[in-house]
Amino acid sequence: MLTEPRRGDGSEQKAFDGRSWLLLEKSLGRAEGQVIDHPYPPALLGSMLLNLHLPSLILTSTMQRKAIARLKTALPWTSAPLIIGAPMRVLSGPSLAVEVSKAGGLGFIGPGTKPEDLGPALLQATKLVQEDSGATLSKCKSDLLPIGIGVQTWAGDLEQSTRILNGQRRKPAVIWLFAPRHGQKELDEWALRLRDVSKGSQIWIQVASVADAITAAPRSDVLVIQGTDAGGHSLKKGAGIITLLPEVSDALNNLGHGDIPLIAAGGIADSRGVAAALTLGASGVAMGTRLLASNEATINPAYQRHVIEAQDGGQNTIRTQFYNHLRGTMDWPEPFDARGIINQSWCDFESGMPFEQAKVLHDEAIELGKAWGSNGRTATYAGTGVGLVNEVKGAGDIIKQVREGCENIMKSSIEAMRT
């Protein structure tokens, strides 16, 4: 349902003038003083209006409205729609995380090469936050850092992680758990311990199926719904977010968990993807592949060039454990594989080259500094949205551009549906 915005200091009018409101009322068929159900998808209309800073508007989807409000309360420096920098292993460090958050998003530090890397990363992030003179990050609670951390629980060290977090004066605002070896039992153990030592931190759990979402919902502050278009690791069996997220939302609504925020992940690389995810009912989105092409990503230039050059992601990326094995990582849990850009290693292997020979060539390419590119040999993890990533920019500029583009799309959609 809709109510007319309050008239205050005029800022509402600057964002959405009276004529626009009148046109919107007419398009909805609203009589004077009448509050009606409207025909538009709740996120399409609601998220656009949230972007325009009209806090008194009531979204038709009560659950989505509650979920967005919960996120805003927990993450007060963020702007709607919430855009998140995914916790990419090694590739998303403190600089990237802080820049995303400075732009009104939520940046994440990804897992390091070893569990003990978390301590130095948090110290660096703390320093960067302290050095920031802007007003955005100052809205974060004083005992929390305005960033999150990501943990692959199967490869993590719970004891070490709790010791590191216990020693931090400012805890991360969010801890994102994913990739358990032993399912929800493992995630529950991590969540319980981390809530105890990192009080105030939200626990987010990444899932890629309806069943996992139902199991995780009572134990998580937020669910990250990852579709199969995502780069990097996810479940071998899955669906894209265009079907997965609405089905998860329906299932949770039926079980009384409809107000839990859902973050869409997988294949979102520009404003259009954000707008689509919001229309599906997401409370925010996570982007990984797009931020590989940021100035702040901890990424080899050749890896980054390959991301920029790659096109037609559905055809030129592949889901497989092959690249894990080339790197010598043989113990990823069985339900998982990873999506990366196809290169010479995969082409040779698919053509019949024995794995042992492919491994030798892989190791030689790394030694020669020729690991990445179409003729490269090692993993270039990226999602199917890679063809939408065409230039390197500052992470803050990317977040702002995507958010503003989403706002414009929402405006245009309303106009198109009204005519």
Per-residue pLDDT of 96-153, as tens digits, reads 999 999 999 999 999 999 999 999 999 999 999 999 988 899 999 999 999 999 999 9
- Residue 5 counted as domain residue: no
> Domain span at residue 233?
68-298+394-408
Residue 328, pLDDT above cutoff 50: yes
Least confident of 57-71, 154-168, 223-237, 274-288: 57-71
Q: What is the DSSP letter of 381?
A: B
pLDDT for residue 30:
40
- Whether 370 and 400 map to the same domain: the answer is no
pLDDT for residue 157:
96
What is the number of domains present in the chain?
2
- Whether 308 and 270 map to the same domain: the answer is no
Residue with more model confidence, 10 or 349: 349
As given in the structure block, the two tokens for residue 275 are: 């707008």
- Whether 151 and 84 map to the same domain: the answer is yes
Mean pLDDT computed over every residue of the chain: 88
Question: Whole-model pTM?
Answer: 0.85
- Whether 283 and 313 map to the same domain: the answer is no
pLDDT for residue 151:
98
Mean pLDDT of 333-339: 96
Candidates 112, 66, 55; CA nearest to 89 is: 112
CA distance 223 to 261: 6
Side-chain-side CA neighbours of residue 321 (13 Å) = 13
- Whether 241 and 113 map to the same domain: the answer is yes
- Residue 315 counted as domain residue: yes
- Whether 148 and 283 map to the same domain: the answer is yes
pLDDT band at 20 (very low <50, low <70, confident <90, very high): very low
**Residues 202/146, Cβ–Cβ less than 8 Å:** no
Rounded to the nearest angstrom, the gap between the alpha carbon of residue 168 and the centroid of all alpha carbons in its chain is 25
pLDDT for residue 263:
99
pLDDT for residue 177:
98
**Residues 261/73, Cβ–Cβ less than 8 Å:** no
